[in-house]
Amino acid sequence: EAAEKGGYDHFMLKEIFEQPRVVKDTLLPRLPLDQDEILLDGISLSKEDIEKINQIYIVACGTASYTGLVGKYLVERISRIPVISEIASEFRYRDPILDENTLMIVVSQSGETADTLAALRMAKKSGAHVIGIVNAVGSTIAREADDVLYTWAGPEIAVASTKAYSAQLCAMYLISIKIAMELGKISVEEFRELRDELYAIPKKIETILEQSDKIKELAYKYKDSKNVFYIGRGLDFAVSMEGALKLKEIAYLHAEPYAAGELKHGPIALIEDGSLVVGLLAQEELFDKTVSNIKEVKARGAKVLAIALEGNTEIEKTADEVIYVPRTHWYLTSILENIPQQIFAYYIAVGLGHDVDKPRNLAKSVTVE
């Protein structure tokens, strides 16, 4: 097993460090530099099919489900198609509205999650077109979906998902850009700009991984926090969900994601001396709004760890700690912003002496209800 870990203490850390490679493998073969298009092997939808889509459901469980909220923000903002991002166990029992003009995207690392599979079958029965974003080649979801877009993350051993999630985000970027292009919502120039940025993502992930010693120090400093709140707006809010989940899964800390603007409607009552708030600030246009929420929690005794874009140093006046991530196109911030969250949760779990790769009560793949 030590050999399989390739010199890392845990599979989770190895998988975190594999992400530049995973992102390259998932993105680059689909983005040829000599053509102004995205080659989505395995996707059969024509331009006419895409024009007919009247709504999109993105359905999944756990970490995979957080790809859905990112997808919702991206598709609705650019392509103006209504998107519902939903957890499979809810979707399957509420008689959702589906028809032959519905596109359903299911997301699954294992391709075997029982609730996600049930949701897929329901959608197919109603005539919706189902695309699977799947990591495990030949898995049940990959076989049963109408189309499959594989995430080339390779086998993920640690129960807590890291590299598979980054690959899912890449797949979501590709599908959402493809839809926007077919609908004429982005120009060739905008596409080229996004493609250049996608090509730059692996290097940018590397620069975040280079900060892992600093993030480790922060994790050890805050590992005994009793309550941790992850806050953000827009895409940052979507990313906050994954940050909080990682901390619950492997560090067993009580961690909750909140839309920053919702704090004053209840959660702020929970803030006290010693609470830790992780503030996500990668959406430039929402930066000031989230900073004002950070000031509110600071005034009530919270410690604040901010994840911000390089250069936005004014956050140092408000936050106790800041981790910077490289700048990119606003469309792609989620993947970069999530990497420090993974490293932070990993080192808190290590610092607390937990079994990082096999957390208590959790399974890698949930094939029963």
Interface pattern 31-50 for ligand G6P (x via CB under 6 A)? --------------------
Tell me the C-alpha distance between 365 and 352, whole Å.
25
| Stretch of 157-165, 188-196, 267-275, 325-333 contacting ligand G6P, by CB under 6 A | 157-165
Q: Residue 149 Cβ, how far from ligand G6P at the closest point, in Å?
A: 14
Which residue of 89, 116, 162, 341 would you call a contact of ligand G6P, by CB under 6 A?
A: 116
**Residues 247-276 contacting ligand G6P, CB under 6 A:** none
| Stretch of 9-17, 35-43, 62-70, 345-353 contacting ligand G6P, by CB under 6 A | 62-70
User: Does residue 97 sit in helix, strand or coil?
Assistant: coil
Nearer to ligand G6P, 241 or 260 (CB): 241
Nearer to ligand G6P, 79 or 110 (CB): 110
- 63 binding ligand G6P? (CB under 6 A): yes
**Residues 308-367 contacting ligand G6P, CB under 6 A:** 362, 364-366
Question: Who's near 316: CB < 8 A, 6+ residues apart?
Answer: 322
Nearer to ligand G6P, 97 or 362 (CB): 362
Angle 170-175-178 from CA coordinates, rounded to 5°:
125
| Stretch of 72-80, 156-164, 232-240, 309-317 contacting ligand G6P, by CB under 6 A | 156-164
Which residue of 67, 161, 162, 176 would you call a contact of ligand G6P, by CB under 6 A?
A: 161
Tell me the C-alpha distance between 83 and 54, whole Å.
9
Question: Who's near 259: CB < 8 A, 6+ residues apart?
Answer: 231, 232, 233, 237
Q: Residue 264 Cβ, how far from ligand G6P at the closest point, in Å?
A: 31
Q: How many helices (H) and strands (E) does the chain have?
A: 13, 10
Alpha-carbon dihedral of residues 143, 60, 195, 289, nearest 10 degrees?
180
Which residue of 110, 275, 328, 341 would you call a contact of ligand G6P, by CB under 6 A?
A: 110
Among residues 318, 264, 279, 274, the alpha carbon closest in space to that of 295 is found at: 318
**Residues 90-109 contacting ligand G6P, CB under 6 A:** 108-109
Helices (H), the chain: 11-17, 19-27, 47-52, 62-79, 88-91, 114-125, 140-144, 163-182, 188-209, 212-222, 235-246, 287-299, 333-351
Is residue 5 part of the annotated active site? The answer reads no
Contact (Cβ atoms closer than 8 angstroms) between residue 131 and residue 145: yes
Nearer to ligand G6P, 66 or 324 (CB): 66
Catalytic residue among 5, 221, 298, 364: 364
Which residue of 20, 62, 267, 340 would you call a contact of ligand G6P, by CB under 6 A?
A: 62
Tell me the C-alpha distance between 167 and 163, whole Å.
6
Nearer to ligand G6P, 43 or 133 (CB): 133
Under the rule (CB under 6 A), what is the footprint of ligand G6P?
61-64, 108-110, 113, 116, 159-161, 362, 364-366
Active site residues: 364
